[in-house]
Structure 1
Amino acid sequence: MKFSYTHHMPYTGVGKADQDWPVPNKQFDTELGMKIFRAGIDNKVFAEECGFDWIGNNEHHMSPYGLMPNPNLIGACVAERTSKAMILQSGNIVPIVNPIRVAEEYAMLDMISGGRLVAGFMRGIPHEYIAYNVAPSESYGRMNEAIELIKKAWTEPEPFGWEGEHYQYRAVSIWPKPAQKPHPEIVMSASSDASARLAAEHKATMGVLRIQSYDTAHRSIDVYKEHARAHGWEPRSRNIILAMNCSIAPTKEEAMETLTGGYDYFFNVLGGGIRTAQKLVVQKTRYFGDKEDAERQMEKLQSHKQLTLEERMERGLVMCGTPDMAIEQITRLYEEFGHGITNLSIKIGNVPDEKVYQTLELLRDEVIPAVRHLGEEEGVAAAE
């Protein structure tokens, strides 16, 4: 079993809930912002010392939800201060940015890191398209074409032109090229049927980036596997990522108290404007080409307050408790889904940094060593 670590770098100084989007930046404090960036990068670097195999950086826009509109900058900082962990870029949101710029910056990151880039191609959440003035209904078309263009830019040894539906370039020949050949591993989200099919078509590792229910996670994995087989390849455990929020402490009560506070800030302060924007985009545009996918997303947006932390724990949707409880849950997840990579988010909302470090240290000392063997029969355990 391999472990991936995600730190969204949320802004922790929002004074009150704001249901509007974009969130007015009058509440942004420069000194606090600089502190968040320094602390977040330090924390990501520490995750490597705790045995994490991948360190993730993601992309969000015009929101205190996460302060990484360009995750490649953070990825470069982390790459420079680490030596073993893979640098997982769970941005870039390729449909809303220049794909040649993505190809170039990813190639730079792969060189700077010594061949440690894991290239995330994400579609983003609906409101990101409003931020960059891109039609949400074009997201799948732009996504698919951008990935094909980026892969060709990485691998084509001669200059080439591109005349696509969404992108046109007279001549492409990027410098540098990636260190990994033929190109870095690709990761794509699979939170909908269409996304799972697209990931399979591109032979990408799929991420169930948040488990909403075991049924929906199974559905995404099944669609991904079936579509991969239809395209002539067989996914292995290492091609499946499951992600969870995580809080570990010496006692269950302490872990729950920590995560309860973080969730309250995350859902009620940071999440209000994003939910408002997402509902409007999902209702008024064809961001989800599949009607069933759109209905499931709306149900998820409408139901975010329905589950208490206790209910999330009972359903296995969050990792919260003692180290022994975490070991039991990771084992149960592997037995249920057969995944090879567990992605954990610990800085949820305004969870204090000292609690984040406590969880990381308990993972390092007690949890990860106890479950590292899972998947060894398929060669997914981390190399010594």
Structure 2
Amino acid sequence: MRFTYFHLMPWDSFSAAEEEWPVKNTYFDPVEATKLYQTYIDTMAYAEECGWDGIGCNEHHYSPYGMMNNCNLIGSMLTAKTKKAKICMFGNLIPLLNPIRVAEEYTMLDVLSGGRLMTGFMRGIPHEYIAYNFNPDESRSRLNEATQLIKKAWTEPDPFGWEGEHYQFRSVSIWPRPIQQPHPPIMMSGGNEESARHAARNRAMLGINFIPSLAKGREIIEAYLDEARLVGWEPGPEHILITFHTCIAETDQAAIDALKGGVDYFNSTLMNVQRNAQQIVLQKTKFYQSEKNREFFVERLKKAKSRTIEEAIHDGTVLCGKPETVVKQIKHAQKELGVGWINTNMKIGNIPNDVVTKGMELFRDFVAPEVRDIEKGPEPVMSMADV
């Protein structure tokens, strides 16, 4: 079992829960943010010392929910602050960006890190398309085309042109080239079965984010595995990652109390400012191609807001408790889902940073030694068959 340390970089003192998205930036204090960014970056780098195998960054816009507008900037800082941990971009919102720029920046990160990059080719959540003024209906086709273009930019030795539906380039020949050959590992989001099948068709790793139930997680993973077999390959546990809200404390009750406060702020304040924007996009566009997936996303938003921490613990969809409890939860999740990677989100909402750091040290001292060797297969690598 391998672990990545994930960070949303939330604004942890936002008090205007009634505000609609996009949030007025008059609430943003640049001086306070300077301190907050440094604390978050130091904490992410500390994850390597505490035994995490990778450090995860992500991209969001116009919201106190996540202040990492460009995860590659944070990733570049982490390449200098770490020596062994994977630099995990979970990831760039590919349909919103220039794919050649993504190819170049990801390659720079791979070279700067000495070949430690794990790339994320993400579609994003619905309201991000309002921020960058892209048609949500085109999100899937843009992701498909950009993925093929980036992979070709990484692997084609000679300059080439590209004339696609969404992207046109007269000549492409990126410098530098990635250290990992033919290219760094690619992860794609698996929020539903449609996305999971897309990841499988691209021979990418599958990243599942905050599942509503272990049963739903199994459905998504089964769709991924079935589609992979149809296109001629067999993913192992090392190709599947799942994200959990994670809170570790000296006692179960202390962890529950900390997580309750953080999740309440996360759902009622941070998520509240973008929940309505997401639903408007879903109602008026074809961001999701099927009604089933649209309804599932809306229902997941509602359930996340109303479900108690005790219910989430019972359902196995969070990691919360003293170290012995969390060890049992990890073993249960791995047995039920067959995953090789667990992505831990520990700075949830406004959980104090010292509580987060203490939890990281408990993970290092008491959790990681008990679960490190479970289903620890080979690291995912790309072959020319994946190009």
| TM-score using structure 1 length | 0.97
- How far, CA to CA, are the matches of 2:151 and 2:224 in structure 1? 20
Once the two structures are superposed, what CA deviation does each residue of 1:132-172 show, in whole Å capped at 9, x if it has no partner? 00000101000010000000000101110000011111110
State the 1:273 CA deviation: 1.5
Kindly indicate whether residue 335 of structure 2 is the aligned counterpart of residue 335 of structure 1: yes
SS where residue 121 of structure 1 aligns?
strand
State the 1:379 CA deviation: 4.3
State the 1:66 CA deviation: 0.7
Residue 58 of structure 2 aligns with an amino acid whose one-letter code is N
Residue 263 of structure 1 aligns with an amino acid whose one-letter code is V
State the 1:82 CA deviation: 0.4
State the 1:88 CA deviation: 0.3
Q: Could you tell me whether the CA contact under 8 Å between 1:13 and 1:32 is conserved in 2?
A: no
Once the two structures are superposed, what CA deviation does each residue of 1:274-314 show, in whole Å capped at 9, x if it has no partner? 11111111111100012211111111123332211111111
- How far, CA to CA, are the matches of 2:141 and 2:10 in structure 1? 30
- How far, CA to CA, are the matches of 1:319 and 1:214 in structure 2? 13
Q: Could you tell me whether the CA contact under 8 Å between 2:2 and 2:52 is conserved in 1?
A: yes
Q: Could you tell me whether the CA contact under 8 Å between 2:268 and 2:305 is conserved in 1?
A: no
Q: Could you tell me whether the CA contact under 8 Å between 1:117 and 1:185 is conserved in 2?
A: yes
Aligned to 2:84: 84
Aligned to 2:364: 364
Let me know the Cα RMSD of the aligned residues. 1.1
State the 1:13 CA deviation: 2.4
Aligned to 1:67: 67
Once the two structures are superposed, what CA deviation does each residue of 1:178-215 show, in whole Å capped at 9, x if it has no partner? 11100000011111122111100111110111121112
- How far, CA to CA, are the matches of 2:21 and 2:296 in structure 1? 22
Aligned to 1:320: 320
Aligned to 2:204: 204
- How far, CA to CA, are the matches of 2:332 and 2:286 in structure 1? 37
Aligned to 1:157: 157
Q: Which moved more, 1:126-135 or 1:263-272?
A: 263-272
Equivalent residues in 2 for 1:167-186, closer than 5 Å: 167-186=167-186
Residue identity (%): 48
- How far, CA to CA, are the matches of 2:242 and 2:270 in structure 1? 23
Residue 249 of structure 2 aligns with an amino acid whose one-letter code is A
State the 1:380 CA deviation: 6.4
- How far, CA to CA, are the matches of 1:81 and 1:197 in structure 2? 36
Aligned to 1:50: 50
Alignment size in residue pairs? 380
Aligned to 1:143: 143
Q: Could you tell me whether the CA contact under 8 Å between 1:99 and 1:146 is conserved in 2?
A: yes
Aligned to 2:307: 307
Equivalent residues in 2 for 1:209-220, closer than 5 Å: 209-220=209-220
Equivalent residues in 2 for 1:1-384, closer than 5 Å: 1-376=1-376, 378-379=377-378
Residue 203 of structure 1 aligns with an amino acid whose one-letter code is R
Q: Could you tell me whether the CA contact under 8 Å between 1:197 and 1:227 is conserved in 2?
A: yes
SS where residue 31 of structure 1 aligns?
helix
| TM-score using structure 2 length | 0.96
